[in-house]
Amino acid sequence: MIKKCTLLFTLVLLIASCDKKFNDIGAEVLPTNPFVGKKAYYPVGVKHALVDVVQTNNTSPMQLGLREDKLFGNTATAIVSQLNLSQYAPSFGALSAQSEIDTSFDEAETVNDVWLEIPFFTNQTDADGDGLIAIYDIDDTDPNSDSDGDGVSDIDEKNNGTDPTNPDTDGDGTPDGEDTETVNPNPDKRLYDIDSLFGDREASFDIEIHKLNYFLRQLDPNQNFEQGQIYYSDFSASIHQDQPLANENITLDFNEIVKDSADNLSPRIRVPLNKQIFQQLILDKEGDSALASSEDWRDFFRSISIETSNFSSPLLMLLDTNSMVIRIDYTYKSEVADSDPVEIEDKTDEFLINTLGSIRFNTLTKTTTAAAALNDIVSATVPDQIALSGGLGMVADIQLFEDNDVLEDLKGRPWLLNEANLTFHVDKQAVDVYGHTLPNRLYLYNANTLAPIIDFAQDGVATPSLAKIVYGGFLTNEEEGDKQYYKVRITNYLKNIISNDSINAPLRVALTNVLPNQTEVPMAKVNAADVGKIPTGSVTTPKSGVFVGPNPSNPDLLDLKLQLEIFYTEINQ
């Protein structure tokens, strides 16, 4: 019993002794306030790079028209495209070419109309579900709003089949709210909001379409046919023109195209083509080897160019070339079934030539020189401004720690790095002067490796609906005041430089609208040794912006200058 009590007493004494020593040692080692949160700024270097010639094949969307830019200069854009038959070895009419020979019956297939159609990008968002899209809805949050003022709510007009954009649907002089016998003459009418047009939507212009004798290859023979063929923006379609297919002066029509025998067509560019040429090249070739396979067809017809000129005022269109078609409407002779004597009647049909799986690319040509102010921006060693533009525009390299001694000093500091940012503030005065349309985001990537600067990863298991990789650089409007900026977090990138001795490579910033997905950003090759590649989204984004540089001359912008911003926790020793 005495032994057990002695052992218990010793154990309690030991625990008390250990606890006392722990508290004493902790009080001696740790300062009163061991962690201090702070912020530091470091200057950055900026160097601009012009994009004069860039890869444009199979980018989406494609541009057509004239882009106006008072800083970078105007750019004319054209389209070169392969075409595919919607059906190979086709039979036009009811009989094949051989059947017509065997039965001695000539269907006499004849082209009535040929159209080149390129749909616009459209939006039919209807937030309140009243059947009327936002652009026409007087209040898109209230289904009971009355957009045409006829005394009938939009939702009721949807339910009873009247037109919510027309106060007198049947045109009899009595408003829908008072008319008890209204009949909608066009109950299938659909409205569209046209997206992705820049400039004067009412401009008139000439459009020329040519058949080219240039064969578009899928694979590059100079790379042993192991890599895809690259097509650049400086391709000259004029030297490859074979036959003119159309030369029209047009003004855009944003109405739905009503067809007699099929579903109506969404708004689109619709250009009449030469009927005689398509009679000879398509319908008269029924049964010919030229239409037998995709390889034979592409060697026979090859490609087309679509060019615009003589604009009454600048207009650039982003178009859905994935849905571009040539629509051939034709008639043919047919025997009336069970007629005696035999009667012959005319029937109609259509045949489509599409662009599915075809090679397409833009040509981009500067039509005016850049403003003198652009040269001042580019040539500055420490720029007052940063200018970025899509298409034949400009990107910029951002160099952190041009003075290596500063980087070495930072590596030796007792800091825990919490966050690092590059914030590109919009130079609103310059943007207003040049009439720029700002992009949705800026994209930052390693200029040497082309790897994106990734700074945040969501838990893909816990939140599968969220993208696993998040980039940054979205346009932000300050809630108070009129500041606009793009903030890009580079915390992980900077941590690797400081802690893991990663290479302090220059970062490259380019503008873009959206990234097609968050795990891979398609890149387009630039025909310039000092650039390499830029995001494909930048090539197809007809937008520009001017941002506050690292050395603003305007004192009001000093607080907005581009610099590296670091939030850190300092460990007191």
Q: How confident is the model at residue 463 (pLDDT cuts 50, 70, 90)?
A: very low
Please write the tens of the pLDDT for every residue from 139-180: 777 787 877 788 888 787 778 878 888 887 777 778 878 877
- Please return the burial class of 54, using the count of CB atoms within 10 Å of its CB with bins 0-12, 13-18 and 19+: buried
Instruction: Write down the pLDDT at residue 226.
Output: 85
298: helix, strand or coil: helix
Number of domains forming the structure of the chain? 3
Q: Is the residue at 72 inside a domain?
A: no
18: helix, strand or coil: helix
User: How many Å apart are CA 438 and CA 198, to the nearest integer?
Assistant: 12
Q: Give the ranges where 94-244 is alpha helix by DSSP (H).
A: 97-103, 154-160
Please write the tens of the pLDDT for every residue from 262-308: 678 999 999 999 999 999 999 999 999 999 999 999 999 999 999 99
Q: Select from 364, 394, 416 the last residue of a domain.
A: 364
Within this chain, do residues 268 and 338 fall inside the same structural domain, yes or no?
yes
Within this chain, do residues 533 and 549 fall inside the same structural domain, yes or no?
yes
Q: Give the ranges where 420-535 is alpha helix by DSSP (H).
A: 428-434, 491-499
Cβ within 8 Å of residue 434, ≥6 positions away: 69, 70, 71, 371, 544, 546
Within this chain, do residues 292 and 164 fall inside the same structural domain, yes or no?
no
Q: Is the residue at 465 inside a domain?
A: yes
The span from the first CA to the last CA of the chain, in angstroms, equals 52
Cβ proximity of 402 and 111 under 8 Å: no
Give the CA count within 13 Å in the CB-facing half-sphere of 391.
30
User: Which range of residues forms the domain containing residue 502?
Assistant: 40-61+368-571
Cβ proximity of 308 and 205 under 8 Å: yes
Model confidence at 35: pLDDT above 70: no
Within this chain, do residues 297 and 416 fall inside the same structural domain, yes or no?
no
Q: Is the residue at 35 inside a domain?
A: no
User: Which segment of 57-61, 343-347, 428-432, 497-501 scores lowest on mean pLDDT?
Assistant: 57-61
Token pair recorded at residue 353: 């030539």
Instruction: Write down the pLDDT at residue 149.
Output: 82
Nearest of 495, 367, 346 to residue 419 by alpha carbon: 495
Within this chain, do residues 416 and 519 fall inside the same structural domain, yes or no?
yes
213 Ramachandran zone, left/alpha/beta (phi>0; psi -120 to 50): alpha
User: Which segment of 181-185, 383-387, 436-440 scores lowest on mean pLDDT?
Assistant: 181-185
Looking at residue 528, what DSSP letter applies?
Answer: S
| Residue 87 burial (CB count, 10 A) | 10
Instruction: Write down the pLDDT at residue 135.
Output: 72
Instruction: Write down the pLDDT at residue 170.
Output: 76
The distance from CA 313 to its chain's CA centroid, rounded to whole angstroms, is 24
Q: How confident is the model at residue 387 (pLDDT cuts 50, 70, 90)?
A: very high
Within this chain, do residues 533 and 411 fall inside the same structural domain, yes or no?
yes
